[in-house]
Amino acid sequence: MPLTIHENVPLAPLTTFRVGGPARFFIEAVTENEVRAAVEHAVLNNLKLFVLGGGSNLVIADSGWPGLVLKIALQGISEHREGKNVYVTAAAGEDWDSFVAYCVERGYGGIECLSGIPGSVGGTPVQNVGAYGQDVGETISTIRAFDLAAGQVRDISNADAGFTYRTSVFNSSQRGRFIVLAVTYQLIPGGAPTIEYADLKKYFAERNLAAPTLRQVREAVRAVRHSKAMLIVPDDPDCRSAGSFFKNPIVSEAEYQHIAARAPEAPPRYPAADGRVKISAAWLVERAGFHKGYSRGPVGLSSKHALAIVNRGGATAADILALRDQIQGRVAEVFGVQLHPEPVFVGLDASSANRTAAIPPQV
């Protein structure tokens, strides 16, 4: 069947931020063949290509996208057992939180702490999505992806995905090369839930639950996220956001001591790879003078979490970027730390806007 190509499609409603202009052309792909055909159409017609997933972690330019937006809507979940593990494969267009619920209900441990994260399955390996002590890079077995360089579908192993904190080859060294089609997760039937973060420990201590189930951990994670406006809830103005806007800085011990010397108190610290230290970006933002509920016209910070920039209604991408720059500048001035944003900026990066069929990570 021929591709259905739409024109001048508003993109703001397809994002959690609810900002951004239209796509000049728009295709929704529900099969791998349609993905391939859409890519061929973009190349043949010299159209810049952007791959859209769940729309939960991006800021789209007010002018929109001048080329083709390819919405990944592939669906389907399958599983098989190998030894003590179960391998669950989800198509890239599956809703992530619904997929976590699917696994938890079947008693598969490994991703329960990633409950409540908005977006689609296809976006999870791109940023090595993580929260509350778990990262998808710990459980992903393989990624099925369309390789634009080779013009074919291939499987990418966990080892070749290059997972580190909020990073993979898909958003770093091989950015723009792959379109994720499906992801396979290696999970543990009957596995014990992960309870590492203080928020979860406090939640269960208050309820006298010494050995919570996977389902109870999922419920706890969603409750904690809701309390911080990190759960998408209809009609909640704090949820018109991209979630955590800045990554937690990872620094050396010497850098941490330098930051601590400039702070009114020692910043909370968490162990990171290679003996380094992770610092709470939210703590830095608040100590730099940006309190929960801070406002700057139509944008501001969530009333529940200082790390979430929110659209208070009628905001533009320019408004969001202005607040981003203000926060980054002040944190750098006070602590000497450069905060790095988590969202993908669509149509706002001049270096990528001039590439034909350039594909930012799907989000």
Are 68 and 81 within one domain?
A: no
* Assigned token pair, 41: 């159409």
Place of tokens 């330098």: 258
Are 218 and 274 within one domain?
A: no
Are 112 and 173 within one domain?
A: yes
Are 56 and 183 within one domain?
A: no
- Whether residue 266 is contained in a domain is answered as yes
- Whether residue 328 is contained in a domain is answered as yes
Q: Which range, of 8-22, 236-250, 313-327, 342-356, averages the lowest pLDDT?
A: 342-356
Share of the chain above pLDDT 70, in %: 96
- Whether residue 359 is contained in a domain is answered as no
- Whether residue 239 is contained in a domain is answered as no
Are 282 and 324 within one domain?
A: yes
The torsion angles phi and psi of 130, rounded to 5 degrees, stand at: -150, 160
Element (H, E) at 238: none
Catalytic residue among 225, 244, 302, 324: 244
Q: CATH number of the domain that 252 lies in?
A: 3.90.78.10
Are 85 and 221 within one domain?
A: yes
Given 201, 227, 253, which residue is the final one in a domain?
Answer: 227
- Whether residue 20 is contained in a domain is answered as yes
- Whether residue 66 is contained in a domain is answered as yes
346 falls in which pLDDT band (50, 70, 90)?
Answer: very high
Are 86 and 47 within one domain?
A: no
Q: What is the pLDDT of residue 2?
A: 81
Q: What is the pLDDT of residue 349?
A: 58
What mean pLDDT do residues 329-333 have? 97
Q: Is the pLDDT of residue 354 over 80?
A: no
Distance separating alpha carbons of residues 47 and 40, to the nearest angstrom: 10
Q: Please say if 173 is a catalytic residue.
A: no
Are 97 and 49 within one domain?
A: no
Are 55 and 138 within one domain?
A: no
- Whether residue 236 is contained in a domain is answered as no
Q: Please say if 351 is a catalytic residue.
A: no
Are 203 and 264 within one domain?
A: no
352 falls in which pLDDT band (50, 70, 90)?
Answer: very low
The pLDDT tens digits for 33-58 are 999 999 999 999 999 999 999 999 89
Q: What is the pLDDT of residue 351?
A: 34
25 falls in which pLDDT band (50, 70, 90)?
Answer: very high
Name the nearest CA neighbour of 67 among 102, 42, 92. 42
Are 99 and 59 within one domain?
A: no
- Whether residue 290 is contained in a domain is answered as yes
Catalytic residue among 112, 115, 166, 225: 166
Q: What is the pLDDT of residue 355?
A: 32
234 falls in which pLDDT band (50, 70, 90)?
Answer: confident
Q: Is the pLDDT of residue 311 over 90?
A: yes
Q: CATH number of the domain that 144 lies in?
A: 3.30.465.10
The pLDDT tens digits for 96-140 are 999 999 999 999 999 999 999 999 999 999 999 999 999 999 999
Q: What is the mean pLDDT of the chain?
A: 93
Q: Please say if 333 is a catalytic residue.
A: no
Q: Work out how many domains the chain is built from and give that number.
A: 3
pTM comes to 0.89
Q: Is the pLDDT of residue 179 over 60?
A: yes
- Helix ranges, the chain (H): 32-44, 96-105, 124-127, 158-161, 198-206, 214-227, 253-262, 281-287, 317-335, 350-353
Range of the domain at 22: 6-73+347-353
- Helix 214-227 and helix 198-206: axis angle, to 10°? 110
Are 89 and 210 within one domain?
A: yes
For residue 304, give every residue at least 6 positions away whose Cβ sits within 8 Å of its Cβ, in sequence order, or none.
227, 228, 229, 238, 292
